[in-house]
């Protein structure tokens, strides 16, 4: 059945629909990113001068913050369900980490093969630890999971939309 349009015009219309669909997806992605906004992290101290980091919950429900592994900047997702600090194999190579013994870790998506490693230092604001156990997990992306191998050394208090990570004995602000 002929629509009455030359073939080249039908192909051009189909191409324009694809361009419009891609533009819509890009626009919606940009809108979502601006809606969740940048994570705000406050570095504070209690009355005794003990350090604490105060994070606001993102609209997606997560707590995220900029930190460092071995002095290299890393974007952390705070994950109290993760046993270790976890980073992707790509980030591990960029930082120059040693890939230790192989292991299988359980994730929400099922078992994943990874490697054990140690981090010389992990820093979140004014909070820092040295010699932190970590897991290198392929496919994790650019964001690192700030797991319990770091967090267990601190007090963690969630109140409403705020998460306070502090040296032990620190009360929330």
**pLDDT band with cut points at 50, 70 and 90 for residue 66:** very high
Tens-place pLDDT, residues 111-122:
989 999 999 999
Domain boundaries, position 142: 41-166
Give Cα 33 distance to the centre of its chain. Answer: 14
Instruction: Quote the pTM value.
Output: 0.72
Together in a domain, 132 and 85 = yes
Domain assignment present for 173: no
| Listed ranges 2-16, 67-81, 158-172; the one with the highest mean pLDDT | 67-81
Domain assignment present for 171: no
Together in a domain, 31 and 114 = no
Q: Is 2's pLDDT higher than 70?
A: no
Together in a domain, 23 and 53 = no
pLDDT of residue 134: 97
Domain assignment present for 94: yes
Distances (CA, A) of 131 to 98, 125, 172: 13, 17, 27
Question: What total of structural domains would you count in the chain?
Answer: 2
Domain assignment present for 86: yes
Q: Is 22's pLDDT higher than 60?
A: no
Together in a domain, 5 and 70 = no
Label residues 138-154 b or e (16+ Cβ within 10 Å = b).
Answer: eebeebbbbbbbbbeeb
**pLDDT band with cut points at 50, 70 and 90 for residue 34:** very low
Together in a domain, 116 and 136 = yes
Together in a domain, 27 and 61 = no
Q: CATH code at 161? A: 2.40.70.10
Together in a domain, 123 and 150 = yes
How much is the mean pLDDT over the chain? 82
Round to whole Å and give the CA distance between 171 and 108: 32
């Amino acid at each position: 059945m002929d629509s009455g349009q030359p073939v080249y015009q039908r192909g051009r219309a189909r191409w324009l629909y694809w361009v419009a669909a891609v533009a819509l997806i890009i626009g919606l992605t940009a809108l979502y990113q601006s809606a969740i906004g940048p994570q705000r992290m406050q570095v504070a101290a209690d009355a005794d001068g003990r350090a604490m980091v105060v994070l606001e919950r993102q609209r997606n429900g997560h707590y995220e913050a900029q930190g460092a592994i071995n002095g290299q900047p890393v974007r952390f997702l705070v994950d109290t369900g993760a046993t270790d600090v976890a980073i992707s194999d790509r980030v591990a190579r960029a930082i120059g980490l040693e890939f230790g013994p192989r292991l299988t870790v359980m994730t929400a998506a099922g078992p994943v093969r990874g490697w054990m490693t140690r981090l010389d230092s992990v820093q979140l604001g004014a909070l820092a630890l040295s010699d932190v156990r970590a897991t290198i997990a392929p496919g994790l992306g650019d964001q690192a999971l700030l797991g319990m191998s770091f967090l267990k050394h601190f007090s963690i208090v969630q109140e409403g939309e705020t998460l306070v990570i502090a040296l032990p004995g620190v009360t929330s602000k």
